[in-house]
Amino acid sequence: MPLVVPGVTADNLGDDQIQEWANKLVGKTISDGPSSETTFCKTELPQETRVIQPGSIVTKDFRENRLNVHVNEDGTVSHVTKG
């Protein structure tokens, strides 16, 4: 019988995965078009992703497998978090 730990699943984003996404996204803009050196295509983001604009109202519920992509006023990604 496998060990079951509440809240721990294969889909949970670890700190190393958050850092990988930060490396891919910070400084780029999120777009509907193809990825390039300065843009990243929305369809290539994980399914559980929300892009947070400055001043946006967001829920405070924490989802271990959700990637939060924070963007600046100019649309470039400033940082990423999980939750």
pLDDT at 68: 96
CATH code, residues 15-82: 3.30.10.10
| The two structure tokens encoding residue 74 | 């100019």
pLDDT at 15: 85
**Model pTM score:** 0.81
Contacts with 70 (C-beta within 8 Å, 6 or more apart), sequence order? 52, 77, 78, 79, 80, 81
pLDDT at 6: 42
Q: How far is CA 28 from the centre of its chain?
A: 13
Render pLDDT for 16-67 as a digit per residue (tens, 0 to 9): 999 999 999 999 999 999 999 999 999 999 999 999 999 999 999 999 999 9
pLDDT-derived band at 10 (thresholds 50, 70, 90) equals very low
Say how far apart CA 73 and CA 61 lie, in whole Å.
24
Does pLDDT of 11 surpass 90? no
* For the chain, domain boundaries: 15-82
